[in-house]
Structure 1
Amino acid sequence: MKLEKVIIENFRSYKNRIEIDVNDLNVFVGKNDIGKSTILEALDIFFNEGKGIVKLDKEDVNKEAREEGNTNIKIGAIFGNLPEELTIDSTNPTRLSDEYLLNRDEKLELLKIYPNAGKEKIFVKAYHPTNPECANLLLKKQAELRRLLTTEMHCEDQTKNAEVRKAIWNHYSSNLELDDVEIELAKIDAKNTWEQLKNYLPLYTLFQSDRKNSDGDSEIQNPMKLAVQEILKDERLLSTLNDVAREVEDKLNQVARNTLDKLNEMNPDVADSLNPVIPTAESLKWADVFKSVSITGDEDIPINKRGSGVKRLILLNFFRAEAERRRCETNVPDIIYAIEEPETSQHPSHQRKLIEAFIELAAAENTQILLTTHSPAIVKLLDFDHLKLIKNDPVKEVITIESGDLPYPSLNEVNFLAFGESNDEYHNELYAFIESEGLLNEYKNGKGTVRYVRLKRNGGTLEEQKIVSEYIRHQIHHPENTLNTRYTNEQLQGSIQQMREFIVDQT
């Protein structure tokens, strides 16, 4: 399955419901405390059910919503690229479309509601039959379903709930009265419906920049633990492990039976009171067998005891290695890597290699990347379709940045919108854009001037009057001329703002 949208409501700074489009590589940018990390952490809660990095608590309820009496946190996800067939009850394979469990867009839409940040309730939002004659079939047990069958309905196998539901819905196919319905998964006949369904969801792993300082530092441990999860998604390998476990189980049962047989010869009463307790292969959690995997340095010193730069460097190369592996292998499991501020503690040359690895990873089969960044340098290594700007004016929204939506297509413009980043390079771009559009004289018209001393090629000087934007432009292009007072940061920011406003007015 592929994540296509994230849904957040009443979680931290996200009061109102928001839907965020997700593609293969997604880089969230915006000012500090705008809600970039919140998106990644919401997904950690959704996918990893409190067993990941983030634990939900009552402080996560949006404060304004709480004051209004709403304490239900909602986190959801919409998936495409769905499996042809899956199992949602017992051992009956079926299709989500056949069960009317897809939304109007034929996507799987899952929603988790956490009342007052407590135990989750899981719903699927579906375009579902509401005709009373055939509604709520997923909530009915087998006996109830079979009572709804009539002689006019053709059912191939009445022992399979999926087939019975299919027969009933086919009978009312012209009058299903389809509508948007939220179905609570826990109430479907099969008690483990969610357990079955989540087996098909992508693995989700979150790497945070504010690392714990412990031997189990998740930033270092998680790549290895994640590798274990990926490896155990291999059905062939898992089948082999289960075969070994069943053979061990058989041998242990044999040992136990022989022991009890001998005990029975000596003391039947004691023998009758004893039973072997041996876990079945299906109950074993193979990931726990490898829970102590890690990477250590010289003399078994944990890597997380090294400097933060070294730790992040290991993580960098984990992603580089994953990019190469996932590009070469086939049938790799669906996975979502979420990384907060990958530039932290990294040399600029390492940042470039890391971004190159993420771009390559995102192009690999069944792989999606979510990043947050505060680095204008990182932004300028990306394409427009990678970037998602979080804004809070006038309402909170997350927008995919399209170059055609900007006054002119520039990643420096993105950095200005995201971080308020204004520098010489951005000033140069704005000035050059106005000049290239033939609007320079119009821009200069009516603006005050300042004295500028031009340095001529023969060593002489010439006094001129220039508007502030032109004054700054000349100083940027002629650093060898030290005859003029250096422009201030306030002048730079004011000039940038004037040029932006002028360009916006022209569009």
Structure 2
Amino acid sequence: MKLVNIVLKNYRGIKDETKIRVNNFCCIVGKNDVGKSTILKAVDAFLNDHAPSYEDKNIYNTSSIIEIELQFDCSGRESIIDESIPITFAEEELVNEHGLLCIKKKWDISQKTIKPKIYILRKKYQNDDFALMTEKELISLCKKLGIDTQKGNGEQFNNKEKRSKLRSFYNNNYYSYKFDYEELPTTGQTRMKKILEGIKDILPTFEYFKADSSLSDSDTSVQKYFKDKAYRLLKERINTNDIEDNIRKEIKKSLDLITGKINSVLSAEEQISAKIDFDWSKLISTSFKCNKEEGYIPLNSRGDGFRRITMMSYFEMLAEEKNNDKSVIFGFEEPETFLHPETQTLLYNKLIAMTENGYQVMITTHAPNIVAETNIGDIIFVQKNGTDYILRQGEDISIQEIVEELGIKGDNTIFKVFDNVKLLFLVEGSDDVKAISHISQVYKTAGKIDKTLEQIGVLLVCIGGCDSLKHWTSLNIIRKLNKPFFILLDSDKKAPDDISPNLNKMIDLGYTSDNCQVTRKREIENYIPSSYFSSLQDPITINYSDWDDVKDICKRHAETIRLGGKKVCDKHFTNLSYSQLRSTLCPTDDDNDDEFLEIYGKLKQMII
């Protein structure tokens, strides 16, 4: 269960609807007081049920409704909703067109009691929408459409089976539909209420370390970790039920005497009874103390920097320990505070290690060292322009702007990431980076190349399309890095005899065939063989040529969710085998005609 997008409206500095992409690691960058923590506070309000107040409303928006939406990738995550049969939200079409679980909360801060209304974005059929139907209604609809089914008997016939058959019938007959929000009731026994309970069961937890918090061993999240661990060990190694029963029996004797005396003077309507509760988690509390000859010095008596180093060790432990719990997101406001620059880099490495162990980490920072270490695709750049909240990500980010915004000098560590790089391989988007990295690894495994691109010192950099390339060129970023570079852009050709518009633009910018090239096919998505989809365990029939807009085809396809819609490359490219890649990169099976080997050879020549 991964958080993929955050959508905010009328919240703090954000007036209009703003969408924020979330990776496993997110570095929110900007000057002081531009609203970097707004994103973390929004996640906290949503996941930890901290209702916004009137002060959280954007002062330039006249509406009293604050909206926060979180979108999750819950692929393969099963839930039990209204039967004992496990389902996924995707197969029940309780996701958006990209297969994401989208939950929105709205708070009306004009009300005396501020409680959220909760909504889910789902696929709704224009006629006979069956998502919320009872078994009786499902059987009736199946009978009307000539679909074979019967009253539920377990695995063979059940409501999930009926909805699946109806779904196939609707898709095969091109029933019209739309994606729309539907409110999830917080009371009652309807299917939508049960869906809400199922969602709550799989939502990630959010551990929030604020800039003005102690960030010490007494933090609630730290204590909770050890209390939960101690409780699990107690349950595993001690029969706590027997202990509770014995204690309850002994205590009950005294309590019964007391309640008997109380009830003797009360009327029948006022009679009381005693209740005994156990909370084993409260049996343990942890802390760290410094050993000194004159005695123990509590950690909270040491400096902020020392205490943060202790917390870094806690994060490192989380990074090394296998994460078997449900998804956890960590949010840190300026974790580098009070740390020496070298220690800031160590902190960054520990946070990244946490993401490699299954956690998501979001931080706010204006520390050059941390920004310099962060992949450009993981940066969220926040600025203020008067009353406008400006947020940039991915290809909209300019390294030069970050340098200027944070007051970083040209020789600062912002360029440290390029120190050991021999050549910059500039491509359009993050999908291209992932795809080419995958090809490189697969070709090495197959023995077609001796070393991957990374191993020969090539760094793949996402620069966006030609317009972004103009920005890089005008700012002399490439020259400042003082590294050889090679540019590969999509051809964007719609037919084999077309002239690539991107190639023309690069030539106009002064680049030559020595340092730039376009793909032989239209886009990176065209390198996914259509036969790959037909070979899936649950085959998908889809056809396209080397010049079709594959993203658009996948978006409009009946199986758009499984295809990934416009994110088809991100969802499927890294699953391609060597034989599948070879068939699309080299249809003649002649190494001299292999598109990747051609590019790889050019890069090696440029490095030598």
**Shorter-chain TM-score tier:** 0.5 to 0.7
**Distance in 2 between residues matched to 1:262 and 1:42, nearest whole Å:** 51
1:112-151 to structure 2, matched below 5 A, reads 112-116=105-109, 118-132=114-128, 134=130, 136-137=132-133, 145-146=135-136, 149-150=139-140
**Distance in 2 between residues matched to 1:370 and 1:317, nearest whole Å:** 18
**TM-score normalized with structure 1 length:** 0.65
- Percent of aligned pairs with the same amino acid: 25
**Distance in 2 between residues matched to 1:506 and 1:393, nearest whole Å:** 31
Deviation at residue 17 of structure 1 after TM alignment: 1.2
Please say if 1:334 is aligned against 2:306. no
- Closer, same or farther in 2 for the Cα pair 1:132/1:306, shift >3 Å? same
Gaps of 5+ in 1: 138-143, 430-498
Identify the residue that residue 197 of structure 1 maps to in structure 2: 199
2:336 to 328, 343, 348: 343
Please say if 1:387 is aligned against 2:372. no
**Distance in 1 between residues matched to 2:311 and 2:103, nearest whole Å:** 31
**Distance in 1 between residues matched to 2:414 and 2:289, nearest whole Å:** 48
Q: Residue 224 of structure 1 contacts residue 294 of structure 1 at CA under 8 Å; is this kept in 2?
A: no
Identify the residue that residue 224 of structure 1 maps to in structure 2: 222
Q: Residue 389 of structure 1 contacts residue 418 of structure 1 at CA under 8 Å; is this kept in 2?
A: no
2:315 to 314, 319, 336: 319
Q: Residue 216 of structure 2 contacts residue 310 of structure 2 at CA under 8 Å; is this kept in 1?
A: no
Deviation at residue 203 of structure 1 after TM alignment: 2.2
Identify the residue that residue 31 of structure 1 maps to in structure 2: 31
1:211 to 204, 213, 216: 213
Deviation at residue 238 of structure 1 after TM alignment: 9.0
The count of corresponding residues between Structure 1 and Structure 2 is 403
Q: Residue 338 of structure 1 contacts residue 369 of structure 1 at CA under 8 Å; is this kept in 2?
A: yes
Deviation at residue 339 of structure 1 after TM alignment: 1.0
Deviation at residue 332 of structure 1 after TM alignment: 4.9
Gaps of 5+ in 2: 417-472, 479-507, 511-608
Please say if 1:179 is aligned against 2:182. no
**Distance in 2 between residues matched to 1:260 and 1:307, nearest whole Å:** 49
Q: Residue 256 of structure 1 contacts residue 276 of structure 1 at CA under 8 Å; is this kept in 2?
A: no
- Closer, same or farther in 2 for the Cα pair 1:307/1:252, shift >3 Å? closer
1:183 counterpart letter in structure 2: E
Please say if 1:398 is aligned against 2:367. no
Identify the residue that residue 8 of structure 2 maps to in structure 1: 8
**Distance in 1 between residues matched to 2:403 and 2:255, nearest whole Å:** 77
Please say if 1:378 is aligned against 2:370. yes
**Distance in 1 between residues matched to 2:415 and 2:132, nearest whole Å:** 63
Structure with more relative contact order (C-alpha pairs < 8 Å, separation 6 or more): 1
Deviation at residue 6 of structure 1 after TM alignment: 1.2
Identify the residue that residue 463 of structure 1 maps to in structure 2: none
**Distance in 1 between residues matched to 2:281 and 2:201, nearest whole Å:** 15
1:163-312 to structure 2, matched below 5 A, reads 163-164=158-159, 166-167=161-162, 170-171=165-166, 173-175=168-170, 177-186=176-185, 189=190, 191=193, 193-211=195-213, 220-228=218-226, 231=229, 240=236, 244-248=239-243, 250-251=245-246, 277-279=275-277, 292-297=285-290, 302-312=298-308
**Distance in 2 between residues matched to 1:300 and 1:196, nearest whole Å:** 48
Q: Residue 8 of structure 2 contacts residue 68 of structure 2 at CA under 8 Å; is this kept in 1?
A: yes
Q: Residue 385 of structure 1 contacts residue 401 of structure 1 at CA under 8 Å; is this kept in 2?
A: yes
**Distance in 1 between residues matched to 2:413 and 2:343, nearest whole Å:** 24
Please say if 1:415 is aligned against 2:409. no
Q: Which has the larger radius of gyration?
A: 1
1:108 counterpart letter in structure 2: L
Deviation at residue 84 of structure 1 after TM alignment: 3.6
1:376 counterpart letter in structure 2: P
**Distance in 2 between residues matched to 1:228 and 1:181, nearest whole Å:** 42
Structure 1 counterpart SS, 2:314: helix
Structure 1 counterpart SS, 2:69: strand
1:337 counterpart letter in structure 2: F
**Distance in 1 between residues matched to 2:274 and 2:253, nearest whole Å:** 11
Cα deviation 1:403-433 (Å, max 9, x = unaligned): 9x75xxxx5x25325424445659999xxxx
**TM-score normalized with structure 2 length:** 0.56
2:102 to 101, 104, 109: 109
Cα deviation 1:156-201 (Å, max 9, x = unaligned): 52799x9336525634753464321222222562656544422322
Q: Residue 75 of structure 2 contacts residue 90 of structure 2 at CA under 8 Å; is this kept in 1?
A: no
1:44 counterpart letter in structure 2: D
Structure 2 counterpart SS, 1:41: helix
2:81 counterpart letter in structure 1: I
**Distance in 2 between residues matched to 1:343 and 1:248, nearest whole Å:** 46
2:123 counterpart letter in structure 1: Y
**Distance in 2 between residues matched to 1:288 and 1:71, nearest whole Å:** 41
- Closer, same or farther in 2 for the Cα pair 1:258/1:108, shift >3 Å? same
Q: Residue 217 of structure 2 contacts residue 287 of structure 2 at CA under 8 Å; is this kept in 1?
A: no
2:366 counterpart letter in structure 1: H
**Distance in 1 between residues matched to 2:197 and 2:385, nearest whole Å:** 40
Q: Residue 12 of structure 1 contacts residue 61 of structure 1 at CA under 8 Å; is this kept in 2?
A: yes
Q: Residue 29 of structure 1 contacts residue 418 of structure 1 at CA under 8 Å; is this kept in 2?
A: no
Identify the residue that residue 459 of structure 2 maps to in structure 1: none
Identify the residue that residue 474 of structure 1 maps to in structure 2: none
Deviation at residue 208 of structure 1 after TM alignment: 1.8
**Distance in 1 between residues matched to 2:125 and 2:239, nearest whole Å:** 45
Identify the residue that residue 460 of structure 1 maps to in structure 2: none
Structure 1 counterpart SS, 2:207: strand
Identify the residue that residue 488 of structure 1 maps to in structure 2: none
Identify the residue that residue 61 of structure 1 maps to in structure 2: 57
**Distance in 2 between residues matched to 1:155 and 1:71, nearest whole Å:** 49
Deviation at residue 250 of structure 1 after TM alignment: 4.7
- Closer, same or farther in 2 for the Cα pair 1:154/1:253, shift >3 Å? farther
Q: Residue 7 of structure 2 contacts residue 70 of structure 2 at CA under 8 Å; is this kept in 1?
A: yes
**Distance in 1 between residues matched to 2:377 and 2:162, nearest whole Å:** 45
**Distance in 1 between residues matched to 2:197 and 2:351, nearest whole Å:** 31
**Distance in 2 between residues matched to 1:16 and 1:204, nearest whole Å:** 25
Q: Residue 383 of structure 2 contacts residue 391 of structure 2 at CA under 8 Å; is this kept in 1?
A: yes
Q: Residue 389 of structure 1 contacts residue 401 of structure 1 at CA under 8 Å; is this kept in 2?
A: no
Q: Residue 355 of structure 1 contacts residue 378 of structure 1 at CA under 8 Å; is this kept in 2?
A: yes
Cα deviation 1:312-355 (Å, max 9, x = unaligned): 222222222322x23xx263542211111121001122112111
- Closer, same or farther in 2 for the Cα pair 1:62/1:109, shift >3 Å? same
